[in-house]
Amino acid sequence: MIYRLAFTLAGGLFASLSLPVAAEVAFLSETSPAPVKQLLEKTRQLTGSDVQLYSLGQRPDAASLEACVVVGQASLKRLQECAGKPVVAVFVTREASAAAEGLTSAIYLDPPLSRQVALAKEILGSDRRLGVLVRDPEQWSLLAEQPDSSVTPYFVNEYDSLNHALVDLLKSNHALVGVYDTKLYSSETIKNILITAYRQNKPLFGPSSAYIKAGALATTYSDLDDVARRLAEILKSGLKEGVWPEADFNPYFDVRFNEQVGRSLNLLLPSPEAMTLRLLSKEPR
């Protein structure tokens, strides 16, 4: 009887040690749309933490707070509500993350330029010349992780207009690789960019999944499950081990094609799954 009781108590102790560490994690978001709620629920399930959503006007209790997740660039202004606790930002661009003070970690919304370039080369060939439209050299220095002689930036601020920069780019390159910049690639400019490019049979890669329907040929992207998976890894590492990964691009992603555009350009596209695996094999570990 004594041995049975001891075994039961020990078993309960080991079971409790194996359970996820409960922690108060605050999601700070200006609004509470379905995707934010879905991300919160997925994060709660993957981490076992107590995760609560605080929309605009709601403040978390600093006494019970272990970490904050800032959702969206508009919410970066709420960093002071985290009372000096670790803060992870999601759905923010690399540029916005770099400009924000007080972030512990972040998952960038935009894919790395090197990944989009690798995608373009896999489809068009490694010897193809690629052009990238950027606002100015400062933006380029932030986007270009490593030099690539086959990739040339075109600085819009050095031209009379975006269209003049685009025409110059298309004359000397086989494709345009888009960067996540809502001013360069806005609802007002994207139609003109695509029409100008496809008149010369030059495809657009990226800058995100949202542009595929508009007419981009292909892109890499991270969906909600990918963000939740990476966010859970960051929170587990920080809350359990005290090690918070640096802000970075999401290592989990997929590829999406516009098959109709591919056919119009006479391009033979592999399956998105096969292309994703090929790109993953080239990613730095």
Which amino acid is it at 230? R
- What is the pTM (predicted TM-score) of this model? 0.89
Along the 285 residues of the chain, how does pLDDT read in single tens digits? 433 333 333 444 333 333 444 569 999 999 889 999 999 999 999 999 999 999 988 999 888 899 999 999 999 999 999 989 999 999 999 999 999 999 999 999 999 999 999 999 999 999 999 999 999 999 999 888 777 889 999 999 999 999 999 999 999 999 999 999 999 999 999 999 999 999 999 999 999 999 999 999 999 999 999 999 999 999 999 999 999 999 999 999 999 999 999 999 999 999 999 999 999 998 877
Contacts of 57 (CB under 8 A, 6+ apart): none
Which pLDDT score is estimated for 194?
96
CATH of 2-110+224-241 given 3.75.10.10, 1.10.10.10, 3.40.50.150, 3.40.50.2300: 3.40.50.2300
2-110+224-241 and 113-221+253-282 have identical folds: yes
Q: Which long-range contacts (CB under 8 A, 24 or more apart) does 57-64 make?
A: 60/24, 60/26, 60/28, 61/24, 64/24
- On whether the CB atoms of residues 219 and 208 are closer than 8 A, the answer is yes
Tokens 């935009």 identify what position? 110
Sequence-distant (≥ 6) Cβ neighbours of residue 163 within 8 angstroms = 192, 196
Instruction: Work out the angle between the directed axes of helices 272-282 and 113-124 (0-180°, nearest 10).
Output: 120
Q: Are the C-beta atoms of 230 and 267 separated by less than 8 Å?
A: no
Residue 149: how many other CB atoms lie within 10 Å:
6
Distance CA 151, CA 245 (A): 29
**Going by C-beta distance under 8 Å and a sequence separation of 6 or more, which residues neighbour residue 263?**
none
DSSP H helical ranges for the chain: 2-18, 34-47, 94-99, 113-124, 137-143, 162-172, 190-199, 224-241, 259-264, 272-282
Q: Give the 3-state secondary structure of residue 145.
A: coil
- The torsion angles phi and psi of 161, rounded to 5 degrees, stand at -155, 165
CATH classification (class only), 113-221+253-282: alpha beta
**Encoding tokens for residue 264?**
């119009």
Question: What are the residue ranges spanned by the domains of the chain?
Answer: 2-110+224-241, 113-221+253-282
pLDDT at site 16: 36
Residue 4 is predicted with a pLDDT of 36
